[in-house]
Each structure stands twice: as structure tokens, then as C-alpha cells.
């Protein structure tokens, strides 16, 4: 399809394990965002890429969280030594524009991460 | 810092009722404002947007007007349908490109 694709849809991991979440943005979209959505809450910003450059990572909650977009398309969000408070839905969004805040963001269906 | 506050849900309405979901914001600059909708089992979708004061965004019978004087962006629909049952998120985006979302308002529409 032509939308943002995230995988896996569901991920269950034991506390202390590392996980990797993948995002395939819409082809040609310059901007890519990661959000964390806790149950019953709105998405909270984690990090932003413009092409391959990570321009804002102010929302990453700790140094256990790491994101990359090496070729300016697919992005991976990695969480090391997972903890129970990492359980959430992780959303990826892409946007056509670079510095234009008027561009809408297109969201994937998210990855629901559960840490046991 | 910037923030978005929207009315708590759930909101339960009968079909064809009038809908208002309140949203107010705090921002230092002149943000763009958005309403996103999340249908059951689906991802967030942009419903409508407004980029400057007094702009009215509209889509699928929903409307919201960017009110700078009251820092509000209330969502309205004249006649809701069962298919409108979803979670609605108000959001703002500043020049830093970071989008800030409200907590969401769940809407249930009964037939």
C-alpha cells in the first residue's frame, strides 16, 4: 500500500530484552517521526528525522532508546534492556515537507509493545 | 511550553445529535492546529487542520475554527453517525515541527 507501514504490529518481550521496531514511511517523504502512546493518552513525541539526519531527539525518555534512519527512508527504533514502563504503542509518522509545519503527518497503525 | 487540553471523555451521543469536543491550547508562537481521529483498530488519521487565526478547517461534516483570542479549536458536527465513533485528538504543531497532542476524547454514538 501507499501508507506508513510498521512492523511488527505486536511485540511481547521479557524485561531486560532488547527490541527493534521498524517503520517504512511513505515513499518520498522527507520527515519521519516516532511517538509513544500510553494507554488512554495522546501520542508523545520521541524523535524526528529529516532524511537521514536526526534533528530532534529531545523526547527519547532515556539512553536505552535509540533511533536511526541510515538511508533516509526506513527507520528503526531500538529499545535496550526493556522495562515494564516501556509498554506502549509506538507510532511512526511521515510527512512530505521538511521545515513546513503545515504539512500533515501520516501515521502508521503502530506497534503495541508489551514488556512482561 | 506548548500544550493542548481537550475535554475528557467518553462522550456518548445518540445518532443525529450535535457534537462539540472542546480543545484549548497554550503556545508561544503561531502554531498550526489539527484534529486527528483514531477509529477502532486503525491508526491516527488527519481529520482537519487550520494554519492561522480565524481559519476554519472542515472535513466529513466536522468543523473547527482557529480562535486566537480564546486559544481554542473546538470540534463540531451537526449530526453524528454511528460510524463517527472513535477517539479524537486535538494537536498543535509549532515551527519546531514537533506535534503536541491532547489526551484524546472517546466518542460513542448510539443508533
- What value does the mean pLDDT of chain A take? 93
Give the residue from B36, B76, B51, B65 showing the smallest Cα distance to A107.
B36
pLDDT at A19: 98
Cell (9 digits) for A20 = 527493534
> What DSSP designation does B88 have?
E
Whether A43 contacts A35, CB under 8 Å = yes
pLDDT at A101: 58
Closest Cα in chain A, distance from residue B63 (Å): 17
pLDDT at B95: 67
Buried residues in A101-116 as b, exposed as e (16+ CB within 10 A):
bebbbbbbbbbbbebe
pLDDT at B29: 79
Give per-residue pLDDT as tens, A73-109: 999 999 999 999 999 999 999 988 876 656 778 999 9
Quote the percentage of chain A above a pLDDT of 70. 96
CA angle B38, B43, B49 (to 5 degrees): 60
Whole-angstrom Cα distance, residue A23 to residue B50?
Answer: 28
pLDDT at A2: 79
pLDDT at B41: 82
pLDDT at B89: 97
pLDDT at B97: 66
Across residues A22-44, what is the average pLDDT?
Answer: 94
Chain B positions contacting chain A at CB under 8 Å are 4, 31-32, 34, 36, 42-46, 49, 51, 89, 91, 93-104
Chain A positions contacting chain B at CB under 8 Å are 3-4, 31, 33, 35, 40-45, 48, 56, 58-59, 91, 93, 99, 101-102, 104-110
Whether A76 contacts A23, CB under 8 Å = yes
Give per-residue pLDDT as tens, A49-64: 999 999 999 999 999 9
pLDDT at A110: 94
pLDDT at A25: 97
A44-53 contacts at long range (C-beta below 8 A, 24 or more positions apart): A44/B101, A45/B98, A45/B99, A45/B100, A46/A77, A46/A90, A47/A77, A48/B97, A48/B98, A49/A75, A50/A98, A50/A99
Whether A19 contacts A82, CB under 8 Å = yes
- CA A61 to the chain's CA centroid: 13
pLDDT grade, residue B98 (50/70/90)? confident
Give per-residue pLDDT as tens, B29-68: 789 999 999 998 888 999 999 999 999 999 999 999 999 9
Whole-angstrom Cα distance, residue A34 to residue A22?
Answer: 10
Closest residue in B to A89 (Cα) is: B43
Amino acid at each position: 500500500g501507499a501508507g506508513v507501514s510498521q512492523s511488527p504490529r505486536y511485540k511481547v518481550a521479557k524485561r531486560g530484552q532488547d527490541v527493534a521496531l521498524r517503520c517504512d514511511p511513505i515513499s518520498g517523504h522527507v520527515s519521519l517521526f516516532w511517538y509513544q502512546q500510553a494507554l488512554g493518552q495522546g501520542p508523545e513525541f520521541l524523535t524526528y528525522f529529516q532524511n537521514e539526519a536526526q534533528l530532534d531527539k529531545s523526547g527519547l525518555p532515556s539512553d536505552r532508546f535509540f533511533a536511526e534512519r541510515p538511508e533516509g527512508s526506513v527507520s528503526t527504533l531500538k529499545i535496550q534492556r526493556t522495562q515494564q514502563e516501556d509498554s506502549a504503542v509506538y507510532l511512526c509518522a511521515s510527512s512530505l515537507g521538511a521545515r513546513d509545519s503545515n504539512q500533515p503527518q501520516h501515521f502508521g497503525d503502530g506497534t503495541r509493545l508489551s514488556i512482561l | 511550553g506548548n500544550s493542548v487540553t481537550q475535554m475528557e471523555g467518553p462522550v456518548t451521543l445518540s445518532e443525529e445529535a450535535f457534537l462539540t469536543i472542546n480543545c484549548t491550547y497554550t503556545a508561544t508562537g503561531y502554531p498550526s492546529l489539527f484534529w486527528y481521529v483514531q477509529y477502532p483498530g486503525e491508526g491516527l488519521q488527519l481529520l482537519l487542520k487550520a494554519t492561522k487565526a480565524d481559519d476554519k478547517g472542515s472535513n466529513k461534516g466536522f468543523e473547527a475554527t482557529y480562535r486566537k483570542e480564546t486559544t481554542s479549536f473546538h470540534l463540531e458536527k451537526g449530526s453524528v453517525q454511528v460510524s463517527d465513533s472513535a477517539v479524537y485528538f486535538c494537536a498543535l504543531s509549532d515551527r519546531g515541527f514537533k506535534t503536541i497532542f491532547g489526551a484524546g476524547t472517546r466518542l460513542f454514538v448510539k443508533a
